[in-house]
Amino acid sequence: MNTQPKRSVCMLLVSLLSTSLLAGCGNDQRTDDGRANDQSLRMQEERARQVADAWRASAAAAAWAQGYYPMADAVQKPVSGWRSKADERAFETKNFVLGGDLPSTASTLGKVDWGDGKDLTRPLIGAKKAYRSFALNRSAGPHLTVTGARLGTTTIVTSRGKATVPAWLFMLESYDTPLKRVAVTPSKLPKPPIGQARQGASGGLRSIARLAGTAADGRSVTVKATHGSCDDGPIVKALETGESVVLYASIKGAESGICPADMIEQNVRVELSQPLGDRLLLDALTGRPVPFGDPKGTAPSWT
């Protein structure tokens, strides 16, 4: 596991208590008390085991195995790469201008093809909706101009491996290769077979915000974990079974006293003993699959 700890000194701001939102820095997992730390770890591991056991051979796991859940960005940059830093900045800030017409009609259904004969048919989004999912800004800064679009295909990593899926190919002014936006909609998340852990009964567990990426060989995953400004950062461990990988997150080095109630998001790489493959990646606290990307962004793992 490789983290990038970010630590701030916890300050006593008595004079600001009436105007500032403050929270305690303490945590159930305390590194200054070995017994408390061991107990917290046992509680976390027990919760992870409960989640793994609940999903094993469940109806939810069967539904997940048959669904389409993308685990990579739905918006893909031109293969030719960005021509300038200004264009890269325009993409990052979602600053686009529509300089042509977009198709108003298209097929209503598309095929997700894993190449194993187990294709899946899913609804498609229209070109205009696809455009609006990444073109969120029209400021005076650097921008990219979309001149048109057509329906094509692309490949994307999913919970079941790489798949070929329908995609809108958006032509960009001064570019030979298009910007691609996956057009097929993800499957609905099945109802988890276990509820979220009860607050205070999980040894200081924290939720995993989202999956940030998976190593090419599948032997590690990078997730977004959260922590406060008065600790040494997040810790993420994995409980691996043949069917799932349950991640359980907590924080280290929490200090007692008064601390600003802020939330810091940090990348944490978690090493696995075996490639992730098609195993379920689950969050111990929530009992749900870990989503890729921001659920409110352009590439949620599910609808």
> What is the pTM (predicted TM-score) of this model?
0.79
pLDDT of residue 300: 56
- Amino acid identity, position 55: W
Percent of the chain with pLDDT over 90: 62
| Higher local confidence (pLDDT), 134 or 203 | 134
* 203, pLDDT greater than 90: no
Confidence at residue 17, expressed as pLDDT on a 0 to 100 scale: 34
Using the predicted structure, report yes or no on whether residue 184 has a pLDDT greater than 70. Answer: yes
Does the pLDDT at position 94 exceed 90?
Answer: yes
Would you say residue 11 has pLDDT above 50?
A: no
β pairing state of 264-271 and 258-260: unpaired
Q: Is 117 left (phi over 0), alpha (psi -120 to 50) or beta?
A: left
Question: Distance between CA atoms of 100 and 98, rounded to whole angstroms?
Answer: 6
72, 164, 179 from 153: Cα distances, Å: 15, 7, 12
| Amino acid 263: pLDDT | 76
Q: Please check whether residue 138 is in contact with residue 95, taking contact to mean a CB–CB distance below 8 angstroms.
A: yes
- Mean pLDDT of the 6-28 span: 37
pLDDT above 70 as % of the chain: 82
**d(C-alpha 20, C-alpha 70), whole Å:** 40
Residues 254-286: pLDDT tens digits? 666 677 767 788 999 999 999 998 899 999 999
Would you state the pLDDT for residue 230?
Answer: 77
Write down the pLDDT at residue 36: 57
pLDDT of residue 61: 97
Q: What is the pLDDT of residues 132-173, one digit of tens each?
A: 999 988 888 899 999 999 999 999 999 998 999 999 999 999
Yes or no: say if 285 and 194 are a contact pair by the CB < 8 Å rule.
Answer: no
Residues 6+ apart with CB under 8 A from 244: 51, 52, 55, 56, 279, 280, 281, 282
- Domain 73-182: which CATH number of 2.30.42, 2.40.128, 3.30.1050, 2.60.40: 2.40.128
Do 26 and 10 contact (CB within 8 A), yes or no? no
Q: Pick the residue with more confidence: 87 or 21?
A: 87
The mean pLDDT value for 85-101 works out to 95
Planar angle of CA 281, 284, 288, nearest 5 degrees: 55
pLDDT digits 0-9 by tens, 205-242? 988 989 998 998 999 999 999 887 777 788 999 999 99
Query: What whole-number distance in Å separates Cα of residue 34 and Cα of residue 29?
Result: 9
Our CA dihedral for 87, 165, 73, 269, rounded to 10 degrees, sits at: -140
Query: Which residue did the predictor score with more confidence, 21 or 191?
Result: 191
Q: Are strands 109-112 and 96-98 parallel, antiparallel or unpaired?
A: unpaired
Domain ranges of the chain: 2-64+190-283, 73-182
- Comparing 86 with 104, the larger pLDDT belongs to 86
